[in-house]
Structure 1
Amino acid sequence: MTLIASEPIGDDREIPTLPLALGLAGLAPFIALALAVALQHRDLVGIDAGAALLFYGATILSFLGGVHWGLALRHPSATTRAGLYVVAMMPPLWAWAGLLVGGAAGLGLMAAGLAAHGILDGVRSGRFATPRWYPRLRILLAALSTIATAAAAVVMASQAAGN
């Protein structure tokens, strides 16, 4: 008996309320920290908003790699499983590179990683037994997190150039 269905059950085109609410809640740090950077309130209660945004982006990219690892565990094709395992390792390694670079350039790398992973999920995740709503949710969340992170990177770069 399998605990995870390999085929969608019923009508799974509408994004369920809980994943949508949790996904949108997960955008709050992206938006709040990007706004703090843009409004030049980089130091929030002793926390550097730009660095916090960078760390949060790395956390989310690592989480998204874990999603692909989970998809690999359930896929019936050994070749596809191998590819998913490799793809699952790219987001955390990319995030780590962004953390090493730091600053505006690190945020730029994080934004690129969020965008790339969103596009990948939007285009390819339907092939890996995800519900039909999943690509739409991922594109929405990736677009908003990418915009917030890229905007903060631009603001930080312009602030650094002005100093």
Structure 2
Amino acid sequence: NILLTLKRRFQRLWRCLQQITRVPNCTTKTQLLLHTQASSVCMSFRPTSTSRLLSIKPLNWHMSHLCHGDSRGASQRGDSKEGFSLRALTKAPKPALYLGFSGLIPFLSAPLLMSVTQSFYPEVAYAQVVYGASIVSFLGGARWGFAIPAGSPAQPDWMNLGNSVVPSLLAWLALLCRDSIAEGALVVIMGLGLSLHYDLTLLPGYPAWFKAMRTVLTLVATFSLVAMLVLKKFCPEKKIKEIQK
């Protein structure tokens, strides 16, 4: 009996030892299983993340391209609307300079004649107003012709073409003021100022030399009309027909 009891205890002890030695194996198998599952999960996750990154990259590139495009467009609009200097007249073509400044002769000749003779001539004043109205109408047509050609920086939209018609309407209104030269001259001055405002701020696109030349010509033409109105107030009125008699 004692031997049987010792034998049973020895068998139990041996089983316990076997179980103890099997635990690391089980743990190792469990770790290997977990590692295999984790690696499979990582392998399955990597293509997904890579595909997501590849799918997001063009979107990010597209958004950055749009942002850079908007900033470039804003900078171009800012460049087209930025100020100019009168030094740009040195870059103007000679035909434009000669024809532009020679166009001031009819404006300046009327007040110069009246100041020399110390008399106000309604016919001469009205001729000056008619010439100013034709110049105002010409400026509107120039804007129309600038916006129509293909590749022009000014688009043929309602803003450009619609505002180009306004100077012509003002010129027509000035011609209707035959009996009131002062009102006709004021309408021409308003048309010159409005056209200059369109070309410098509202409807950009002209080169810098043209903007500088337009500013100088508009100021001189406006000064000549104001001088004619001042002479009308302070000089006696005479008609050319009376002088011929």
TM-score (norm 1): 0.75
How far, CA to CA, are the matches of 1:83 and 1:93 in structure 2? 16
CA distance in 1: counterparts of 2:212 and 2:154, whole angstroms: 25
Structure 1 equivalent of residue 198 of structure 2: 120
CA contact (8 A) 1:123 1:135 kept: no
Partner of 1:70: 145
Closer/same/farther in 2, CA of residues 143 and 98 from structure 1, 3 Å limit = same
Q: 2:94 aligns with which of 5, 17, 32?
A: 17
Equivalence for 2:109:
32
Match of 1:10 in 2: none
Note closer, same or farther for the CA distance 1:151–1:112 as it changes in structure 2 (3 Å cut).
farther
Q: CA deviation at 1:154?
A: 3.0
1:1-150 matches, within 5 Å, as 13=88, 14-39=91-116, 40-43=118-121, 48-74=123-149, 75=152, 81-102=157-178, 103-124=181-202, 127-128=204-205, 130-150=206-226
State the match for 2:21 in structure 1.
none
What one-letter code is carried by the residue in structure 2 that aligns with 1:50? A
Q: Which segment drifts farther, 68-77 or 99-108? A: 68-77
Instruction: State the SS of the aligned residue for 1:110.
Output: helix
- 1:49-107 CA distances to partner (integer Å, 9 max, x unpaired)? 101001101110111011111122034775x6221111111111101111212311111
Unmatched segments (≥5 aa) in structure 2: 1-87, 238-245
**CA-to-aligned-CA distance 1:18-71 (integer Å, 9 cap, x gap):** 10111000000000012224444555xxx9110100110111011101111112
CA gap 1:111/1:158 in 2 versus in 1, 3 angstroms: farther
Structure exhibiting the larger radius of gyration computed from Cα positions: 2
Residues paired across the two proteins, number: 143
User: How much has 1:120 moved relative to structure 2?
Assistant: 2.6
Partner AA of 2:196 in structure 1 = G
Which sections of structure 1, spanning at least 5 residues, go unmatched? Answer: 1-12
Closer, same or farther: CA 123–68 of 1 in aligned 2, 3 Å: same
Matched residue type, 2:98? A
CA RMSD of aligned residues (A): 2.5
Shift of 1:160: 8.1
Q: Larger deviation: 31-40 or 56-65?
A: 31-40
Q: Secondary structure at the match of 1:133?
A: helix
Q: Which residue in 2 is equivalent to 1:8?
A: none
Compute the TM-score of the two structures, normalised by the length of structure 2: 0.52
Do the aligned residues in 1 keep the contact of 2:177 with 2:183 (CA within 8 Å)?
Answer: yes
Bigger relative contact order, structure 1 or 2 (CA pairs below 8 A, ≥6 apart): 1
Q: 1:142 to 1:76 in 2, by over 3 A?
A: closer
CA distance, structure 2, for counterparts of residue 77 and residue 31 of structure 1: 33
